[in-house]
Structure 1
Amino acid sequence: MRLYISADMEGIVGVVTRDHLAPDGFEYQRARAWYSDTIAAACEAAHEAGCTEIVVSDSHGNGESLLIERLPDYVQLIRSWPRPLMMMQGIEDGPYVGAMLIGYHTGASNPAGILAHTIHASAFQEVRLNGRAMPEAGISAAQAGAYGVPTLLASGDDHAMEEIGSLIEGVHPVVLKWSYGTKSSRMISPALSHARIREGVKQALANPAGKPFVVEPPIELDIVFRHRMPAEYLSYLAIVKRLDAHTIRFVGKSMDEVSRFIAFVTGYHVMTVM
């Protein structure tokens, strides 16, 4: 039995401001440990529940935040970028009993939640699939669903779990902190969060209520940028339609095509500002 885990940092206990998210932050190294220990706890619980192999995607920041030496031997780790399937790279190498989204957060257009954004915080104001606003969790679940893999569990703050629960049928939510605002929250201790993650993983595997979250193709991907220029430049491509000053549309035949296009746009934006 194989399990897939997509891991992000914003929804991890302890993490609450951008000082925790990048190497120049004063508590980043501590946050890496909180992040790594949370993922290790999830993997250990899954192994105890019968999973013999677990593939983990480090999907935060530069893709190099998880401390590999803190992960068990039965874990395979996906690191760094670029990746055509982004936060779900490796889901194509199934079969998997399910996918779990650990440490996730709300989307950019959600007014609530800790460190809310979608994929590229400084570039994207909103991402929509077939007209519906999608947080990173929705995009990840849709990528898993395209391969017939159900999303069994998600963890993060209370607003993130509410948002994910409204999108994905049967997902097991694990709330580890409660948002007061974009950069403030009430949270439990790391040790208790690990215990809750362990319990949630075992419950989700014992009673897998989640179903594959499928976005039917053709898939209209709308990206609303914070600034005008990315929309203007991308509209030069024949495959892109500009809907307004800040919004473009790309129509993909599959989630793989959609993911590859988002990865291209994200990478292009990063490269042009370096």
Structure 2
Amino acid sequence: MKKIYISADIEGIWGNSNPANTAKNGYLYSEYCTNMMNEVNLVIDLLFQNGVEEVVVNDGHGNMDNLLPSKLDPRAAFVAANGAYKEFGMMEGLDDSFDGAMFIGYHSRCNSPGVMAHTIWGTMVRKVVVDGKELGESGINRLLADEFGVPVILASGDSEYGKQVEEELRCVFVETKKTLNNQCALCCSFNELKNRYTKGIQEALKVDEKPTLSSSHAMDITFHHSRNADFVSRMDNVEKMDDCTVRINKETYKDLYALMRFVIKVCNAYA
């Protein structure tokens, strides 16, 4: 594999466990970003050590401006943006030119065990169901990678998230910390983390298969509040299913994913 796409989140990163510090007003926010930066750079370095020639990084957390360009490994390209303007959010910049994708520092879906578990926007979204199956961010994003024919070859995060990786991704998993509860984790040493990534990346880069292209899907988005479903159901292609749930349909998953992003962003603007 010569060209790898990295989508990075913050909750599953080694050392991070308190959601208060994943936002810019958290007193340890800079530390959480430093941990994210260090882990992403570790992955980038190992990829180049193992023969990868091109790496593109996309920040997938919050406003998606947590990774500082001046601190990023200079060999990697990256997506820079105000997150609200990313049509494809956590997957911005992905296309069919990539040989593989990695989800770094991800977390479990809402209503399940795992450190800081949530789906897309924790205070807004209760769950997302695609074709009758509830998915977390991993599964939602994997379907977009499928449409581009790009295999997701590795994911990392806490131990409970690892169980969902088996279900939603079926790829190599690197455990960054052991889940104790929603806001408590047992972190290995950083040296051990390096060892785990070293082995995981070597294994992941051996993957030699392409996913089947995604077809059209139906997606149900359930909000915590009925007012959000009421509001977005005024839009074309958005059907209200119950008090808190709307259904969206598109001919391609790429268009469905972009509409999902817009529907959830509109709810945030008018929370």
**Please, what TM-score do these two structures have when normalized by structure 1?**
0.93
Structure 2: state its 5+ residue gaps.
Answer: none
Does the C-alpha gap of structure 1 residues 23 and 238 become closer, same or farther in structure 2, counting only changes over 3 Å?
closer
Verify the 8 A CA contact 1:38 1:197 in the aligned structure 2: no
Does the C-alpha gap of structure 1 residues 99 and 209 become closer, same or farther in structure 2, counting only changes over 3 Å?
same
Which residue type is aligned with residue 183 of structure 1?
Answer: Q
Q: Which residue of 1 aligns with 2:92?
A: 89
- How big is the shift at 1:212? 2.4
Verify the 8 A CA contact 1:3 1:96 in the aligned structure 2: yes
Which residue type is aligned with residue 227 of structure 1?
Answer: H
- How big is the shift at 1:66? 1.1
Runs of 4+ aligned residues of structure 1 deviating over 6 Å after TM superposition are: none
Moved more, 67-76 or 49-58: 67-76
CA distance in 1, matches of 2:146, 2:106: 18
Q: Which residue of 1 aligns with 2:156?
A: 155
CA distance in 2, matches of 1:233, 1:148: 35
> Helix, strand or coil: the match of 2:37?
helix
| Same amino acid, percent of matched pairs | 27
Moved more, 69-78 or 43-52: 69-78
Does the C-alpha gap of structure 1 residues 26 and 239 become closer, same or farther in structure 2, counting only changes over 3 Å?
same
- How big is the shift at 1:254? 1.3
CA distance in 2, matches of 1:201, 1:152: 9
Verify the 8 A CA contact 2:119 2:125 in the aligned structure 1: yes
- How big is the shift at 1:247? 0.5
Does the C-alpha gap of structure 1 residues 213 and 102 become closer, same or farther in structure 2, counting only changes over 3 Å?
farther
Q: Which residue of 2 aligns with 1:188?
A: 188
Q: Which residue of 2 aligns with 1:201?
A: 201
Q: Which residue of 2 aligns with 1:212?
A: 211
Q: Give the number of equivalent residue pairs.
A: 268
CA distance in 1, matches of 2:48, 2:59: 19
CA distance in 2, matches of 1:39, 1:210: 25
CA distance in 1, matches of 2:268, 2:209: 35
Verify the 8 A CA contact 1:108 1:121 in the aligned structure 2: yes
Q: Which residue of 1 aligns with 2:100?
A: 98
Verify the 8 A CA contact 1:221 1:251 in the aligned structure 2: yes
**Please, what TM-score do these two structures have when normalized by structure 2?**
0.94
1:94-150: CA deviations, max 9, x gaps? 41110000000000132x001011111111000011111110011111111110000
Which residue type is aligned with residue 107 of structure 2?
Answer: H
- How big is the shift at 1:266? 2.3
1:181-230: CA deviations, max 9, x gaps? 1111111123432332233112211x21665275x432101001000011
Q: Which residue of 2 aligns with 1:269?
A: 267
Alignment of 1:111-126 (within 5 A): 112-126=113-127
Tell me the C-alpha RMSD between the 2 structures.
Answer: 1.6
CA distance in 2, matches of 1:213, 1:199: 27
Which residue type is aligned with residue 22 of structure 1?
Answer: A
Does the C-alpha gap of structure 1 residues 87 and 45 become closer, same or farther in structure 2, counting only changes over 3 Å?
same
CA distance in 1, matches of 2:69, 2:199: 23
CA distance in 1, matches of 2:175, 2:147: 26
Verify the 8 A CA contact 1:151 1:211 in the aligned structure 2: no
Does the C-alpha gap of structure 1 residues 217 and 138 become closer, same or farther in structure 2, counting only changes over 3 Å?
same
Q: Which residue of 1 aligns with 2:61?
A: 60
Q: Which residue of 1 aligns with 2:42?
A: 41
Verify the 8 A CA contact 1:152 1:210 in the aligned structure 2: no
